[in-house]
Every structure is written in structure tokens, then in C-alpha cells.
Structure 1
Amino acid sequence: MTQFSKTLAFLAIGVASSTVAVGQTSTPIGTDAQMNLNALATSPATSNVRMFDNRYQGVKGSPYFLEAWVPGTVELKTNNTGKSEVFKDLRLKYDVFTNLLFAVLPQTKDTIQFSTAPVLTFSLELPTNPSPLLFTRLKEAKALDPALAESFFAVVLDSEGGKAKLVKRVAKSKIEANFKGAYSSGQAYDELIDETQYYVVANGAMRRVKLNRKSVLEALPDQAEKLKSFISSQKIAMNSETDLIKVVAYSQTL
């Protein structure tokens, strides 16, 4: 039995081997691609492999960025070599609440879960987006708040020519049940709710922005007057992600 076959057998009982996957950042195709996917199933990143469980049973709301499995790509660190390996042709699901990533291997259809610790980036191909949505860690996040050091941020608008970029963190918070009896008016179930947070990254710093004019002007103080005029002339309400994208995109032209 090959090592990969053994690993798949272990998957059935929730155990994986820890064979090391080695390689540089690349875009593998054909046989190389399948070898890389096989390596993903046996890499240290998947040493905590397990199948889905019922931990969210009875909880209202979803822990996932998207309920559906979507095509995606994952870039993993290769030990301490400073190199990385890119795994394509996966179907991914991101558990935002626990910061875990799930993948379905295309050939075997096995579902694996791996810690996000070795993950550098991952991208999801969304039906509503013309291009894949990239998730990445940001070095500026730790300086803003050490609790954000391991968080992944979706790149809503990438930087142009070193100008400001817009990212968001799709977090989930849990409201605990407060059920004290059959006739209680309290909350009878645990509930997960969305807490999307937007950030502008500019000049080596990261600032949180809310969906209002005052917040975005404070995040880009050097351009505040021009942005204020732009918002007024374009009659931008500043109450949606689309509005925020328009303003940050305009800031990149200044």
C-alpha cells in the first residue's frame, strides 16, 4: 500500500500521517499537480485531519464564509525554508468562526481539514466575482491589534502603485442561548452572526473604517479634502461596501 493510500485509510478514522510536502511557489499542471494534491493530503498542515462533525448542530446561523463549496487555491509554507507550495484544483470551504479551512481533493473526493497556521494565502472563486477573492494575512494587522495577527483578510480592492488598499475581515460572533424555562422569553438557541469589519491599508499602517464618511476621511487624512469633495459631487451615501470601494479607488488616483 502506498503512503497516499495509507493516508486515505487513516482519513476514515480521522487520523493522518505527517509526510512532508516540499516545493517552491509554482503553478503545477498535469501529473505534477496531482502529486502536489497527494502531498497536501499527507503534509503536516493536514495532521489534524478529520471529517465534518456536528459541533454546530442546533446553532442558528452559519460559521462559514460561504455555505457552498467553491473552487479555490491554497498557498502553504514549506517548513522553515522560506519557500511555499501552491495547491490548485481544490474545492474549499472557510470556517470563519474557528479560522479553519476545509478542502475536497478532486481525484479522491476526500474531505480534509487543515490548520490555517501554515497557510500564506488562499483564494475562492465566487460566482458573483469576476476574479478570485484573495484571503491573506497582513503584517500591518498585528501592529493595529495583536489579536488580528493570525486573521485572514479578504482583499476587496488591491493597491495600485503603492496607494491605499481596502480589505475586510468577515468575522463571526456567537450569542449564547439564554433559555431558562419553557415559558422564558430569552434566547432559546446559540446563534452565529456576521461582523464584517473593513480596513484601509496605506503608508504602512492599517486603520479600521466604518461605513460612513467621517470614518473613511479619518483613515486617509492626507486626502480628506479631495475625498470629501468627491463624495459630495458623486452623491455617495457611504453606507455600503460598493460606496467604500468607489472612494478608496478614487484615492488611488490622487
Structure 2
Amino acid sequence: MKIHASKVFSLLLVGVTYGTTGFAQTTAPQGMAAEMNLKILASGGSATTATVFDDRYQGVKGSPFYVDAWVPGQVEVKAGNTGKTQVFQDLKLKYDVFSNLLLAVMPQSKDTLVLNTTPVISFHLELPTGGTPLEFRRIKEARELDPALGNEFFAVLHDSKDGKVALVKRAAKKKVAADFKGPYSSGQAYDEIVNETNYYLVANGKMQRVKLNKKSVLEVFPEKADVLKAYMSAQKLAMSSEADLLNVVQYYQSL
């Protein structure tokens, strides 16, 4: 799988502090000024360009991307050591979930940037299904739950402004290696990238995983278990889908 672009840049920023706490947003640059700023960041502080062709996924079945198509979006990054952030708008984006990279097509020059997500505060994708753009951001409570999740991005499905509860998901991807040799092989003749999505609830400064079933949802809301059980029954919710889980979280928010 090749990225068909004449110019591709690698983001090399270092010394980044994760999370959004303590950052103020700067005025977003416009037009070619915005492009030049992002290109300088992407080339490690130099305006020079480099041509790279990406074949990491050639011959691998499945997609590494959250959405295969280029979609409109914006990216917020830390602005050096200023304590502020900078927003780049009007981009076309792809999120490579497997490698935790962002691919961005610049609106003016049409150059393609390959962005390492280390300096990224958050980004938004306008999905083909429509609706409000989906925000991806790091969750500060994730590191306490599992240190391996501390630097990961989560899609925000429900964001509680009063801090009562938020619902996020980690749309991870994993690679299943070919296994066609030996007497106990699975017979799979190709490497494959498969989805490994997990859902989490964030409430009262704590993050916990929730599964797509009634028992798991009721266990994470013990103080409202009877009320939620009655609601699930009345709404005929099987709790086997993301939509059902979001429905219950939004109802819990209203209680």
C-alpha cells in the first residue's frame, strides 16, 4: 500500500508534554502561512522537503486506517515551549491507527505530510457518515489504568462538561501474522490487520473499561444499576452495540 504523494514529511518534534492542561490556544494561521508552519514542524525545523514512499502495509490484508478515505479535519499541536497550542484547519486527514500516525494533505500545495502523533494535542475527523466531527485526544486517567495507554488517542463518543461521565473508545489495530506451516497452523497464508476496539468510561477522576454487554455496564454504574436495568428493558437494549452503550451513558448523564 503506497501513499501516492509527491512530497512526504516526517514529524520529528521532541520534548512534548502530553495532555491539554495548561495550554492556551493561539490564533490559527491562515493559507500558505499555516502550511509553512506545519511543514517546518514536519521537517524537524527545516523548510526542506523529502520524498518518501510508504510500503509498510504492502501485501497485508485489512486496513490500518480508522477510515480508509481522506476526510476533512483539523489538528491541534503544541506550539514549541510557549505554553500555547496551534490549530491547523482545512486539512484532509487519515488516521493510521496501527502505527499511530496522522497523514495530512495540505489545502494549498496539496503536499502530503506524515505526522507522528507525539506532539499532537488532539485532532478531529469529519466522518463520511456525517454528524459532528469525531474528536481524538489523550485521556489523562488512562495512564493510571494501564501505563501502555498513557500516550494513546481515544475517540470521544460522549464528553461530559460537568465531569459526571465520559465515554471514549480506543480503536486499536493489531497484526495477525501468517500461519501456514506446521501441523498445528491455522492455515492463514497472509498477514492481516484486524480491529481491536475497547470502550472506557471516565468518571470522578477514574477510567475503567466497559464491555458491550449488560452485566459489564451495570457493574460500572453500581449506584444506578436498578434504574439502568429498567431503562435497558424499557428501551429493549441488548447492549451489544456501540449505539446501545452510548444511549445508556447519555441516559445516565441525565439522572
Q: TM-score, normalised by structure 1?
A: 0.85
How far has the Cα of 1:156 moved from its partner?
A: 0.8
How far has the Cα of 1:127 moved from its partner?
A: 2.2
Unaligned runs of 5+ in 1: 1-10
SS in 2 for 1:194: strand
The equivalent residue for 2:28 is 28
SS in 1 for 2:74: strand
Higher helix share: 1
The equivalent residue for 2:16 is none
The equivalent residue for 1:108 is 109
Superposed CA deviations along residues 26-52 of structure 1, whole A, max 9, x for unmatched, are 4536xx343122200111x54397644
Q: RMSD over aligned Cα, in angstroms?
A: 2.4
Distance (whole Å) between structure 2 residues aligned to residue 13 and residue 160 of structure 1: 38
Identity of aligned residues (%): 56
The equivalent residue for 1:210 is 211
How far has the Cα of 1:16 moved from its partner?
A: 8.2
SS in 2 for 1:64: coil
How far has the Cα of 1:214 moved from its partner?
A: 0.8
Q: Is the 8 A contact 1:91 1:103 kept in 2?
A: yes
Question: What aligned pairs does 1:47-86 form with structure 2 within 5 A after superposition?
Answer: 47=44, 51-86=52-87
Question: Equivalent of 2:35, from 34, 37, 48?
Answer: 37
Distance (whole Å) between structure 2 residues aligned to residue 232 and residue 150 of structure 1: 38
Q: Which region of structure 1 is more displaced relative to structure 2, 63-72 or 76-85?
A: 76-85
Distance (whole Å) between structure 1 residues aligned to residue 163 and residue 147 of structure 2: 24
Change beyond 3 A, Cα 1:115–1:64:
same
Distance (whole Å) between structure 1 residues aligned to residue 90 and residue 152 of structure 2: 24
Distance (whole Å) between structure 1 residues aligned to residue 8 and residue 127 of structure 2: 32
- One-letter amino acid of the structure 1 residue matched with residue 165 of structure 2: A
Change beyond 3 A, Cα 1:121–1:188:
same
Q: Is the 8 A contact 1:33 1:88 kept in 2?
A: no
Unaligned runs of 5+ in 2: 1-5, 14-22
- One-letter amino acid of the structure 2 residue matched with residue 42 of structure 1: I
Q: Is the 8 A contact 1:172 1:193 kept in 2?
A: yes
Q: Is the 8 A contact 1:70 1:124 kept in 2?
A: yes
Q: Is the 8 A contact 1:144 1:207 kept in 2?
A: yes
RCO higher in 1 or 2 (8 Å CA, sep ≥ 6)?
A: 2
Distance (whole Å) between structure 1 residues aligned to residue 9 and residue 75 of structure 2: 22
- One-letter amino acid of the structure 2 residue matched with residue 57 of structure 1: Q
Q: TM-score, normalised by structure 2?
A: 0.85
The equivalent residue for 2:19 is none
The equivalent residue for 1:164 is 165
Count of residue correspondences:
235
Q: Is the 8 A contact 1:60 1:192 kept in 2?
A: yes
Distance (whole Å) between structure 2 residues aligned to residue 14 and residue 81 of structure 1: 24
